[in-house]
Structure 1
């Protein structure tokens, strides 16, 4: 899968989450499931395409 396709998947899942949250509420089981799916897609994107994620510095 190319980067743009992955971004499109993320954007589609985000739009689905917004619709479910509007219709059923943000704390509904469906909204929570969509949110978890979105988190998974974002984490996979970061793992594949960003590889280096800066850590927080506590100076």
Structure 2
């Protein structure tokens, strides 16, 4: 995956997360799902481009 493509996906997911949290509250199932998806994208970025990932999965 191209670095800029992954950064774009991260930015899009972060915007979705913020919008959903504003509309539904921080503990809604949609917000939690988006947060988990963002975590996954950030972990992928770290794994591919920084060479490390947190081991708390």
RMSD: 1.1
Residue 44 of structure 1 and its aligned partner are, at CA, apart by 0.5
Q: Could you say what secondary structure the match of 2:27 adopts?
A: coil
Q: How many residues align?
A: 53
Counterpart of 1:22 in structure 2 is: 22
Runs ≥4 in structure 1, deviation > 6 angstroms? none
Larger of the two Rg values belongs to structure: 1
Distance 2:36 2:29 in 1: 11
Q: Tell me the TM-score normalised to structure 1 length.
A: 0.85
Q: Which has the higher contact order (CA 8 A, sep 6+)?
A: 2
- Structure 2: unaligned runs, 5 residues or longer: none
